[in-house]
Amino acid sequence: MARVTVEDCITQIPNRFKLVIMAGQRARELSSGAKPTISKGNDKNPVVALREIAAGSISLDELEEKVVHNFQYYIPAEDTDEDVEDDTDEALWSLQMAELERGIDSLEDEDDDDDSTEDLADLEEEA
């Protein structure tokens, strides 16, 4: 095959867009040092990737899995993270409650101080 065209690869991957993404993934792997499954010759990595796909010399399922993994941004959290999050929520709740109780206590103390000054004023008037 002297020249690789998309039509040569369509028999392996019928969707042209998927073909381009998968060939790009394989070309990046080759650039990173992966060994080609066919003779490279004087061709560049994208051409070698397309030739490998057309020849069926690479596993398309594994390649597709690598593509999905590279596009995946969200990695599900482990179960232990939920336990830590629950503990954090409980600790935050207890801190908020403690602060609220201190605020209520300080308000009660202010009310008691106001009552004592009124009592002193009443005692002075009586005397």
Q: For the chain, what is the HEC assignment? A: CCCCCHHHHCCCCCCHHHHHHHHHHHHHHHHCCCCCCCCCCCCCHHHHHHHHHHHCCCCHHHHHHHHHHHHCCCCCCCHHHHHHHHHHHHHHHHHHHHHHHHHHHHHHHHHHHHHHHHHHHHHHHHC
Residues 61 and 86 in one domain: no
Note whether residue 42 is domain-resident. yes
Specify the pLDDT at position 14.
92
Using pLDDT thresholds of 50, 70 and 90, give the confidence band for residue 20: very high
Residues 30 and 62 in one domain: yes
> How many residues can be counted in the chain?
127
Residues 83 and 60 in one domain: no
Please determine, for residue 72, whether its predicted confidence score (pLDDT) is greater than 70. yes
Q: Residues 21, 63: contact at Cβ < 8 Å?
A: no
Residues 67 and 120 in one domain: no
What angle, rounded to 10 degrees, do the helices at 16-31 and 45-55 form?
A: 120
Residues 65 and 83 in one domain: no
Tokens of 112: 């008691």
Please determine, for residue 106, whether its predicted confidence score (pLDDT) is greater than 90. no
Using pLDDT thresholds of 50, 70 and 90, give the confidence band for residue 79: low
Please determine, for residue 88, whether its predicted confidence score (pLDDT) is greater than 80. no
Q: What are phi and psi of 40, to 5 degrees?
A: -75, -40
Nearest Cα neighbor of 12 from 47, 45, 59 is 59
Of residues 18 and 102, the one with the higher pLDDT is: 18
